[in-house]
């Protein structure tokens, strides 16, 4: 057996198995160990919507992909270099994503006639040539796990078998020189109330490591050096964690208490879970009985002077629409977080999509404009939340924030900013404390710059006022059915959103050549695949520019001028062309789309091919 360690620059690993095999936990722990090593990384959890799909079935396959490297990376990888397959169904679902030469590690104990039949294999793929293009390593993972736990007599056979994911984790930790201490410490802490379970899982993990160390099935280990990242203190973070931390930071920087009202829905629930952990920072979370109650409570919290937010996914946005419209009417700051998923209706709860853009812009009755912004990466969700808070507080309006399942569940290293690096939002908050019109308080007497109305906390002496869903007379706030007033109020509410265009950064363009003819434009979570594709296309000698939109309503003031510079604009979207339609209508330009709604993010290679195709026709 060789003890040689081969250094490689980048690796993509995918753990795949039954939804009860703990693949998400395995991938998350491998990610944590990798983050501790200082590698740059990106992850793609991919799991079924069913709580417990039939064991061994194709719909029940759960996967977790991790791409890590000694340099800056932008995506969770296209094709896995290593597939760890815990059963035949996992192999069948994932085999088509592998390139020839990839390593396939099989749990040979699972390749029984019964399991092959469940996976709809007519013949054993290990014997019919299906796996010839790959480097296949068969390991009796289940048998060896049970054997390693033989002394734990208080655990039944099924309980011992459940630890096979820890055996696989130990094996891969050995193979890629990951540290063992973080995982053993985590297991001891997680199962501190069940010492025997903790000990068994640690034993299974150690057995996997020892198997890699002693077997002759693997020629050598691999090592990936730490990435040269900008200096600072880093943590591993998902998009949902980042958006939660961003809300807490925005509350601190604004001097307000944070209130979040919501209702559980995949993939947004983790924001509610995460914020519930921050009570020590004055965060108030409310799990309502339904989506409508959640947003209603949040709007009420805003009326009472809090930084208020609500979180959901597309189906919940539909239910919250009337209350968001009420927020537009009463002109109160409210953050509406939409963690998008596949639709329509309840659709594909655990899959990602960008298909709620038009809903965010137009999914309310009447003329009810709201600013819309979108996060680009898991870590960028933090800064997007702060920017949304700034806009909502400054202009007294609901703001829709678009993330999606890819960002929500994906992880990356994130440099923790110092608080003095973040914008001071206290200037955006000014509560009315005295009358403002000839000894009276007019709740809709506006700031001339932002068109924002004053914000008076209920109970402030002399500032008692009434708000509601009916149209209000500008200034006094009295109910008004006057046609001219309704026209005016409609224009004012739109004018507030329009003025934000003067208050956001101009769109930046990455165009090293200055005379590039093709622009790759994107928004939201397509940033990573687009940036990676542009990087590769340039390495191959192609001239291509890149720009990415955060602000989707209003658009940056210079967007039209930028689009006009290029002979061709290519816009990849995980929908059927929603932003493309808006840009064509607004700027009368032939923006070309590259669209897919498969529930998965774009790969780098498919976008590189499309760049090449577009350049051939410029």
Strand partners, 472: 479
Tell me, what's the pLDDT at 120?
A: 96
Model pLDDT for residues 457-494, shown as the tens digit of each residue: 999 999 999 889 999 999 999 999 999 999 999 999 99
- Phi and psi angles of residue 12, each rounded to the nearest 5 degrees, phi first: -125, 120
DSSP state of 49: S
Distance of alpha carbon 533 from its chain centroid, rounded?
Answer: 20
Distance of alpha carbon 61 from its chain centroid, rounded?
Answer: 21
Model pLDDT for residues 119-168, shown as the tens digit of each residue: 999 999 999 999 999 999 999 999 999 999 999 998 999 999 999 999 99
Tell me, what's the pLDDT at 1?
A: 44
Query: What tokens were used for 51?
Result: 């709580």
Give the residue among 64, 41, 29 at the shortest CA–CA distance from 181.
Answer: 29
Number of Cβ within 10 Å of residue 44's Cβ equals: 22
Q: Which residues of the chain have pLDDT under 50?
A: 1-2
**Which residue blocks in 13-163 are alpha helix, DSSP H?**
23-36, 88-94, 113-118, 141-148, 157-161
Q: Which domains does the chain have, with CATH numbers?
A: 5-223 (3.40.920.10), 235-424 (3.40.50.970), 430-503 (no CATH), 509-615 (3.40.50.920)
Q: Residue 588 contacts by C-beta under 8 Å, 6 or more apart in sequence?
A: none
Residue 284 and residue 308 in contact, taking contact as beta carbons nearer than 8 Å: no
Tokens 């198995």, residue located: 17
Give the residue among 164, 108, 112, 115 at the shortest CA–CA distance from 131.
Answer: 108
Q: Residue 132 contacts by C-beta under 8 Å, 6 or more apart in sequence?
A: none
Residue 269 and residue 281 in contact, taking contact as beta carbons nearer than 8 Å: no
Tell me, what's the pLDDT at 3?
A: 61
CA 117, CA 140: separation in Å to the nearest integer? 20
CA 343, CA 354: separation in Å to the nearest integer? 10
Tell me, what's the pLDDT at 53?
A: 83
For strands 61-69 and 221-223, give the pairing: unpaired
CA 263, CA 294: separation in Å to the nearest integer? 6
CA 350, CA 373: separation in Å to the nearest integer? 22
For strands 411-415 and 234-238, give the pairing: antiparallel
How many helices (DSSP H) and strands (DSSP E) are in the chain?
A: 20, 22
Strand partners, 595: 573
Number of Cβ within 10 Å of residue 515's Cβ equals: 8
Tell me, what's the pLDDT at 284?
A: 98
């Amino acid at each position: 057996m060789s003890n040689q360690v081969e250094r490689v620059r980048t690796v993509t690993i995918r753990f795949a198995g039954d939804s009860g095999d703990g693949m998400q936990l395995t991938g998350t722990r491998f990610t944590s160990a990798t983050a501790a090593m200082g590698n740059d990384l990106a992850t793609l959890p991919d799991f079924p919507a069913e709580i417990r799909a039939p064991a061994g079935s194709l719909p029940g396959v759960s996967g977790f992909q991790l791409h890590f490297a000694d340099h800056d990376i932008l995506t969770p990888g296209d094709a896995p270099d290593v597939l760890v397959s815990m059963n035949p169904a996992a192999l069948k679902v994932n085999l088509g994503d592998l390139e020839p030469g990839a390593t396939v590690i099989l749990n040979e104990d699972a390749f029984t006639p019964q399991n092959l039949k469940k996976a709809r294999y007519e013949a054993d793929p290990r014997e019919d040539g299906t796996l010839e293009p790959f480097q296949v390593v068969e390991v009796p993972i289940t048998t060896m796990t049970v054997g390693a736990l033989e002394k734990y007599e208080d655990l039944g056979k099924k309980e011992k078998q459940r630890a096979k994911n820890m055996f696989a984790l130990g094996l891969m930790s050995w193979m890629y020189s990951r540290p063992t201490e973080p995982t053993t410490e985590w297991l001891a802490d997680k199962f501190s109330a069940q010492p025997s379970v903790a000990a068994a899982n640690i034993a299974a993990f150690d057995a996997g490591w020892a198997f890699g160390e002693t077997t002759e099935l693997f020629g050598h280990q691999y090592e990936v050096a730490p990435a040269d990242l900008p200096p600072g203190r880093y943590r591993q973070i998902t998009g949902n964690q980042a958006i939660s931390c961003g809300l807490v930071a925005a509350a601190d920087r604004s001097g307000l208490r944070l209130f979040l009202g919501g209702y559980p829905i995949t993939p947004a629930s983790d924001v509610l879970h995460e914020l519930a952990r921050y009570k020590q920072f004055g965060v108030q979370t409310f799990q309502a009985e339904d989506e409508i109650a959640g947003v209603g409570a949040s709007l009420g919290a805003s009326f009472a002077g809090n930084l208020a937010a609500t979180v959901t996914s597309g189906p919940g946005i539909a239910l919250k629409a009337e209350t968001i419209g009420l927020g537009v009417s009463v002109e109160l700051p409210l953050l509406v977080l939409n963690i998008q998923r596949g639709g329509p209706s309840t659709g594909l709860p655990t899959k990602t999509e960008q298909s709620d853009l038009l809903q965010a812009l137009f999914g309310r009755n009447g003329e009810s404009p709201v600013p819309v912004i979108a996060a680009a990466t898991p870590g960028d969700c933090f800064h997007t939340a702060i920017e949304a808070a700034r806009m909502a507080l400054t202009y007294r309006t609901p703001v829709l924030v678009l993330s999606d399942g890819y960002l929500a569940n994906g992880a990356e290293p994130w440099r923790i900013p110092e608080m003095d690096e973040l914008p001071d939002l206290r200037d955006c908050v000014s509560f009315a404390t005295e009358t403002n019109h000839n000894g009276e308080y007019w709740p809709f007497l506006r700031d001339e710059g932002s068109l924002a109305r004053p914000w008076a906390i209920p109970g402030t002496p002399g500032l008692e006022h009434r708000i509601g869903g009916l149209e209000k007379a500008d200034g006094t706030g009295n109910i008004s059915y006057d046609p001219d007033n309704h026209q005016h109020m409609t224009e004012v509410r739109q004018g507030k959103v329009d003025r934000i265009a003067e208050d956001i950064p101009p769109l930046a363009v990455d165009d090293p050549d200055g005379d590039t003819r093709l622009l790759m434009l994107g928004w939201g979570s397509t940033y990573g695949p687009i940036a990676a594709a542009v990087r590769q296309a340039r390495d191959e000698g192609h001239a291509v520019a890149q720009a990415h939109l955060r602000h989707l309503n209003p658009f940056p003031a210079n967007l039209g001028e930028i689009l006009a510079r290029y002979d061709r604009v290519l816009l990849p979207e995980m929908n059927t062309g929603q932003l493309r339609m808006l840009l064509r209508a607004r700027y009368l330009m032939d923006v070309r789309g590259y669209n897919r709604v498969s529930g998965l993010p774009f790969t780098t290679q498919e976008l590189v091919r499309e760049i090449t195709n577009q350049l051939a026709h410029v």
